[in-house]
Structure 1
């Protein structure tokens, strides 16, 4: 009897990145073709807003330029396939790309031939397991992405032209970027208006009986009441009252302190720690993490994704990964290094949840084992992720603490020391917070110990303003305030830096003159857009769309009328202002015209109005009506090479006067130094003088 040949199954799996293709093809074998879409294939057009306001805010998607050939090739492969699996990234953006692919490849979403699969890591087990659980496209996630894209487009395309009209062409406003800019601007304003307060520290060097090493005790206060020493006079008074007094140990307390292991990385904490520990920008962290996720060629192992998906706000870890880490810790460190309850398998949890913490895919791929296959940056980031994950599964560190109170008359001094008795997770992972005070305390110290006075050590200090934002601290605050999501932190910071609204010097972020101008206009004309609470609530609504509890068109319908009114009001206000280049007395030394003030990437500059015939430009030094206290010439507003504003003498380099705060044409009545403007107060530029008064108090 003749047997009929069955046609072999032919499946096509589409991923985003071509880097993943080779590894996944190897995992799935001969019955599968694997192709890449190279990211998004459709988007809103650049030439217009691309949202039909009159017809239910329907987005008008077009094929992205340059993606035609990729789509043509994918269509050919789709025709040959019995099954099409859409395996784009496991987040809202990835879900939307899959949905766009269905449309661009002329597939039928309801067709059983088309299914969605997601995997959190590029490993054989993860990919094989994902293929057993295909599903339909999650339209809640797609709609959440559509809502974000449409909202951002409405804000950008409605407000940016006003910035072009008022300030300069090429600027942009954004729903999240404008709030991030405001947060930085507010911090800069807080720093500029900060007035330092003087205080003094007082230490006493004491010699315990029978000991050669002195004991350093810090001034605490009077009895149990903590006291700050606010002036030299107060310090001298305390020192005088201590003269001839006996220093007596009044209390010694021994205790134990534990420090819990850190949680594994989320996108936000990875960006923060990579910035602090490796000096990586948020953009660089994401770029290198993407390489580790997509796969590295590891010799005989072939291409392996070294870490799980990098865009996540979850600290959850799969049971398999926990078991694997526990086994490694037991074998390499011993049972006592296991976190309490670490060997017990969790009875509950979303086993299929795509959003795990960022962790190594295989713990046996230690940083040392894979170092030869990685670039320096890849190795350093992978090592950070590997160590953090292992630490998260390890026991707490334990410290023995000693707290000593020493009394002399009515005054009290204290000594605190800490000694590690069990390193726990610190064996593999430490950060700046794990540094403990190293103060040697003899074990014999008790209430009977006699102490002899050796000397005082004191120093003047001034309170410090809040630090300038770094990329790490900005990401921390954006997350804490509920602004943006894991995928948006890095592009938000990159955008406002690329627009020259902020600049980075060392690790600190500073607002530029251009950034100040944009922020002021946004605050004046669009207070709701740059309102932190409003933006945070909008993010919560977008999360609601992803969870299926909010309709995305409803969010857009409620948002647009307020935006439209604010834009029209701002346009009316601008019609009253004749926007013209400000003409100056500076003569163009090429053609003799009066030069005008224009905005450049870092702020104002002088340009010849005869452009393009005459292209002469000069730096613009804005006089502030104050004479230099050193040489008498004009003080002008200047900018560093990166655009940070400061005030210096126009006679520079001969005169080196400079200050970050704006000087005023008034002298300090106490020491004669120049005064600085601090919000609604004036402060002496000589910090040791410390004179402060209201702006109207000095004539």
Structure 2
């Protein structure tokens, strides 16, 4: 019988490691955490120094039984869970569940699942690091205390079913404040004057009026622009006053950390943060190749820029082979991390074998795995390639009769592409990016005479701040020190799932990439900021993260950190629970039953109006705008009959908006969606039409009105036009772009 019993988190990881170890090892998976705080109660005794009560969830009982059974007869246990605080916590709980003493087990860690890494780990085992476990436990207890203490208050004062979270509520606050900043923004008008010129060789180039009497020029209205045109509009002869040439060097971005991988995968590939982490985990734990299950990337939860010496050497070999000596560094490039609490012993995210090119692996990977591996492979290589060298030219032109007006022409050529040959941030097409970044100017010399062909004024407006995307929110959270690499994905998923935030396309008012706070998200945020300012304070939240880092380093006792947070929090909570009134907006309208004021409240389906004297008076009505909408719909569907019993259908309101319901309810429970018809015929069944619908999570999509007979559906709104390449429907991406619903064709809307 095998002497060694190895425990990892997942079956895939177990399978991959199993390839490298011999018959002396049995490898089993814990399937993640085996113990946690109970779901039905708080599970933390705040009066006994935050003593937690851990339970084994029902769905984990079978795994625990199997692990205990398999443990028998194996004198040596190896805890091989992930090398982070969560992995250390899983390991600590395994010791408790399996009743293992120090002499019974060894803890091994590795950055990558390769034969070399596993064998090296087995040669340098350690014991469970309780400091890392205490840091994880402190985070878990903090989050439980905030959630379990604040959420009931939200239920009482605003609406049932609401929740608060230590990090999630701060993330929503960022979005709410950004939305208010955008709403408060007032665009300012300004004008530009651009000219088309010919040099002495009759070659065209453009330049823009930028300075007047040596100072920046900008018109705030058409009259100011016209005044300038009145002065220089008739002048055709211009002179090149100066030609400034400057060589600039561009350094490649550092290798991926968790947050930068999430950001770049969102920008370049359109992946959500959650998708990115899921796919990265698959690549880390192992993909089935010809030789068996193989880990393709290093551990994906890291905030370090470090690359192993072996990886640096291999990168140099691959660059020399694929791109040539002129792209290869003489000595490796190293990056210094700026991230707070970064663990420099860890590595950045990189391929475990840079010799495995994306194209060679394509047949073994699904489309998303291939795209993410390709991104990581190219970024890693780019970090060890030469700088890009660019020649920048700035030409100043002046009208011969009015030398105070200075037009500027800018040109840029890429002298040496360096790393940009393989990788340019924010684009998946480096070759096209190189072309786009080049702005060629004809040959121009000082004192050269040029001719003005035309001058064109153009109106512009200052733009509001951009809404957050998942990528920019992760960047902001990291910059503020809020959360850690492992928390970004669950935080964003949670605030979307709880409907505090929705992802929208602001141009089409449909699903998209921008994170927009909902009405209830805004109300909850305002409530928490007003009554619990510390909980939603960015600096305070970042300070807690720093304390968790100190616990992990053994510099701070975890219970001391919890006391410093919880004691003042509990005192405020007790006061607020007694003094806060239920959220209500008093209106000028009177109750039709008793004459008392009507107030606006939050219900399951959003805002509604209710009598202030509830529960003595139970009169309610929709908000005026909703009532108007319902009356319009009732008029529209007044002749609609129930398909089941023939009774009239009436308009009702649910969590996804208005719908038709049988008036004979509860005897007949027939319902029918009120759908906005796009006027586009279904391409699949040719009988139905495509209508706007909502998913169970409230996301808008477009499907055939013959459902369930026809299940054709699209996320983007169909236009009725067809793709010239494959004849599938063209759908709207935004106001200026269409794309094919099937192939990669896209076109601009003129």
TM band (smaller chain): 0.7 to 0.9
Aligned-partner Cα distance in 2 for 1:586–1:607: 8
Establish whether residue 451 from structure 1 lines up as the match of residue 450 from structure 2: yes
Distance change in 2, residues 1:260/1:340 (3 Å): farther
Which residue, out of 283, 286, 296, partners 1:306?
296
Aligned-partner Cα distance in 1 for 2:364–2:160: 46
Does the CA-based 8 Å contact 1:12-1:34 persist in structure 2? yes
* Cα displacement string for residues 213-266 of structure 1 (whole angstroms, at most 9, x for unaligned residues): 321001111143222221111111111121444421111012211111111111
Does the CA-based 8 Å contact 1:85-1:115 persist in structure 2? yes
Name the structure 2 match of 1:539. 545
Distance change in 2, residues 1:618/1:372 (3 Å): farther
Establish whether residue 167 from structure 1 lines up as the match of residue 158 from structure 2: yes
Name the structure 1 match of 2:713. none
SS in 2 for 1:568: helix
Query: 1:284-683 to 2 correspondence within 5 Å?
Result: 284-299=275-290, 301-342=291-332, 355-408=346-399, 409=402, 410-432=404-426, 437-443=437-443, 445-505=444-504, 506-574=512-580, 576-577=581-582, 599=602, 603-604=606-607, 620=623, 622=625
Establish whether residue 155 from structure 1 lines up as the match of residue 150 from structure 2: no
RMSD over equivalenced CA pairs, Å: 3.1
Deviation at 1:113, TM superposition (A): 2.2
Aligned-partner Cα distance in 1 for 2:122–2:621: 63
SS in 1 for 2:163: coil
Establish whether residue 51 from structure 1 lines up as the match of residue 70 from structure 2: no
Name the structure 1 match of 2:127. 136
What are the ranges of 5 or more consecutive residues in structure 1 without an aligned counterpart? 1-7, 347-351, 589-593, 609-616, 626-638, 644-652, 654-699
Deviation at 1:581, TM superposition (A): 12
Name the structure 1 match of 2:224. 234
Of structures 1 and 2, the one scoring higher in RCO (CA 8 A, sep 6+) is 1
Aligned-partner Cα distance in 2 for 1:209–1:340: 44
Distance change in 2, residues 1:264/1:9 (3 Å): same
Aligned-partner Cα distance in 2 for 1:601–1:183: 25
Larger deviation, residues 241-250 vs 190-199: 241-250
Does the CA-based 8 Å contact 1:87-1:116 persist in structure 2? yes
Deviation at 1:267, TM superposition (A): 0.7
Query: 1:88-167 to 2 correspondence within 5 Å?
Result: 88-108=81-101, 111-167=102-158
Name the structure 2 match of 1:32. 25
Deviation at 1:343, TM superposition (A): 8.9
Deviation at 1:77, TM superposition (A): 2.0
Aligned length, in residue pairs: 601
Name the structure 1 match of 2:76. 83
Deviation at 1:600, TM superposition (A): 5.5
SS in 1 for 2:48: coil
Distance change in 2, residues 1:385/1:607 (3 Å): farther
Does the CA-based 8 Å contact 2:205-2:442 persist in structure 1? no
Does the CA-based 8 Å contact 2:306-2:334 persist in structure 1? no
Name the structure 2 match of 1:687. none
Aligned-partner Cα distance in 1 for 2:364–2:604: 40
Distance change in 2, residues 1:293/1:222 (3 Å): same
Aligned-partner Cα distance in 2 for 1:339–1:620: 67
Does the CA-based 8 Å contact 2:106-2:126 persist in structure 1? yes
Aligned-partner Cα distance in 2 for 1:334–1:618: 74
* Cα displacement string for residues 292-321 of structure 1 (whole angstroms, at most 9, x for unaligned residues): 11110012x210011111111111111111
Which residue, out of 231, 241, 254, partners 1:250?
241
Deviation at 1:84, TM superposition (A): 0.4
| TM-score (normalizing by structure 1) | 0.81
| TM-score (normalizing by structure 2) | 0.76
Aligned-partner Cα distance in 2 for 1:210–1:265: 48
* Cα displacement string for residues 563-617 of structure 1 (whole angstroms, at most 9, x for unaligned residues): 101211211223x5598999998999xxxxx999764567325899xxxxxxxx9
Deviation at 1:125, TM superposition (A): 1.3
* Cα displacement string for residues 172-208 of structure 1 (whole angstroms, at most 9, x for unaligned residues): 1000001001000000010011111111111111111
Name the structure 2 match of 1:225. 215
Name the structure 1 match of 2:615. none
Name the structure 1 match of 2:739. none
SS in 2 for 1:372: helix
Distance change in 2, residues 1:343/1:544 (3 Å): closer
Does the CA-based 8 Å contact 1:504-1:642 persist in structure 2? no
Establish whether residue 69 from structure 1 lines up as the match of residue 62 from structure 2: yes
Aligned-partner Cα distance in 2 for 1:82–1:155: 42
SS in 2 for 1:42: coil
SS in 2 for 1:67: helix
Deviation at 1:112, TM superposition (A): 2.1
Distance change in 2, residues 1:386/1:600 (3 Å): farther
